Amino acid sequence: MKKSNYLTLNPSFDFLLLKWNKERNRRQMPWKAEKDPYKIWLSEIILQQTRVEQGLSYYNSFVKNFPDIHKLAEAPDEKVFKLWEGLGYYTRCKNLISTARYISKEHKGVFPSSYEEILALKGIGPYTAAAISSFAFNLPHAVVDGNVFRVLARIFGINKAIDTTNGKKFFASLATQLLNRQQPGLYNQAIMDFGAIVCKPVAPLCAECIFNNHCKAYLNNKINILPVKKKKLSIKKRWFNYLVIECESEIAIRKRMEKDIWQQLFEFPMVETPKELNKKKLQFFLEQNGFKSNDYKILSTSPVIRQQLSHQLILAQFINIKLKRKLRLKNDWRWIKKSKFGNYAFPRIINKYLEQKV
């Protein structure tokens, strides 16, 4: 990439961006201007795949419950997962716990201070490493997230696909060239804020944009075309049939241990089927798990509840089953008191069912 192709704005790109940031940016977030790498790390992990409006309460809750990395490292997994409940992408939470314990034990609670060391931590990629190293330690590493892709693609009229290896390398190189090396943390926060509140994915505020005299997408009517994505998302449909098995004041649950979505969260006993579960297959499943026809009564079946994940559509039904007597459950099923139900972390789709039931 020739520098002159992209750095010929007058005034310069970083000058205009920082001018906008100083004069017009009113976006307030508790982690802005934060220098504690632990809190910056928390905010960045929480905000991966999560809107700021949703992540804010989770960030405040984590900081309140775990004011330093030792507190997070010492916490039981179940407590951390319960606080994470509803955020989705639970691998982030597992990596959060693992990294906290690693830093607490191996680094005596001191967060690594170089980009390379931060990048080596579990659950941290180039974007998060750049954010932490620039915000906490003022190191010159450019962040490249969805907001940055969009801003650069539109302003400079770049048609390279942002979801290809070559496209990602191109944008990373351009972002590094444009970075203000004297104020990398301030610059990185500014470009992300700009993408979030001015150069938005839909209905960007082009009329008040500080770059509208330079923006190739705006000048060439390509706002809705850029940035370019090459790949089409393939969505897998899955049917989850949950058995809400109750006996007196207890209910059966299990912990998801498979390498699949929602690993380590709790759920009701479940059978996955290619399509909606019929009565015959339900009876067969119950018999396979030790239930005889005179042991139980099917009280109700819920309407289908949907949850859209990034690559999957989950369709769930909840079949409420009342046992006449308490039976011994499978090894990975357990009886819990209904009054203790709130102590366990469940996927959003189960909480949605419970909310509707109430």
Is residue 225, in this structure, part of any structural domain at all?
Answer: no
pLDDT at 267: 95
Task: Give one word for 347, left, alpha or beta, with left for phi > 0 and alpha for psi -120 to 50.
Answer: beta
Is residue 224, in this structure, part of any structural domain at all?
Answer: no
CATH number at residue 154: 1.10.340.30
Residues 90 and 210 in one domain: yes
* pLDDT > 80? residue 7: no
Residues 177 and 306 in one domain: no
Q: Tell me the pLDDT tens digit for each residue of 56-76.
A: 999 999 999 999 999 999 999
**Of 219, 253, 272, at which residue does a domain stop?**
219
Q: Tell me the pLDDT tens digit for each residue of 206-216.
A: 999 999 999 99
Residues 208 and 241 in one domain: no
The tally of domains found in the chain comes to: 2
CATH number at residue 319: 3.90.79.10
Is residue 231, in this structure, part of any structural domain at all?
Answer: no
- Where does the pLDDT of residue 10 fall: very low under 50, low under 70, confident under 90, or very high at 90 and above? low
Residues 174 and 308 in one domain: no
- Where does the pLDDT of residue 158 fall: very low under 50, low under 70, confident under 90, or very high at 90 and above? very high
pLDDT at 50: 84
Contact predicate 263/91, CB 8 Å: yes
**Of 190, 219, 248, at which residue does a domain stop?**
219
Is residue 212, in this structure, part of any structural domain at all?
Answer: yes
* pLDDT > 60? residue 5: no
The overall average pLDDT reported for the chain is 91
Residues 138 and 286 in one domain: no
Is residue 227, in this structure, part of any structural domain at all?
Answer: no
Residues 208 and 275 in one domain: no
pLDDT at 4: 41
Is residue 340, in this structure, part of any structural domain at all?
Answer: yes
Residues 190 and 304 in one domain: no
* pLDDT > 80? residue 1: no
* pLDDT > 80? residue 39: yes
Residues 42 and 97 in one domain: yes
Is residue 13, in this structure, part of any structural domain at all?
Answer: yes
Is residue 276, in this structure, part of any structural domain at all?
Answer: yes
Residues 131 and 252 in one domain: no
Residues 82 and 137 in one domain: yes
- Where does the pLDDT of residue 256 fall: very low under 50, low under 70, confident under 90, or very high at 90 and above? very high
294 vs 350 pLDDT, higher one: 350
* pLDDT > 70? residue 176: yes
pLDDT at 292: 83
Average pLDDT over residues 3-32: 82
Average pLDDT over residues 231-247: 90
Most confident of 8-22, 312-326, 328-342: 312-326
The boundaries of the domain holding residue 85 are 3-219
Q: How much of the chain exceeds pLDDT 90, in percent?
A: 73
Q: Tell me the pLDDT tens digit for each residue of 100-118.
A: 999 999 999 999 999 999 9
Alpha carbon distance 318, 240 (integer Å): 9
CA dist list (Å): 80 to 20, 74, 225, 267, 298: 38, 10, 41, 17, 35
**Of 192, 219, 246, at which residue does a domain stop?**
219
Residues with catalytic roles: 44
- Where does the pLDDT of residue 269 fall: very low under 50, low under 70, confident under 90, or very high at 90 and above? very high
Q: Tell me the pLDDT tens digit for each residue of 183-201.
A: 999 999 999 999 999 999 9
pLDDT at 220: 95
Residues 271 and 342 in one domain: yes
Residues 52 and 200 in one domain: yes
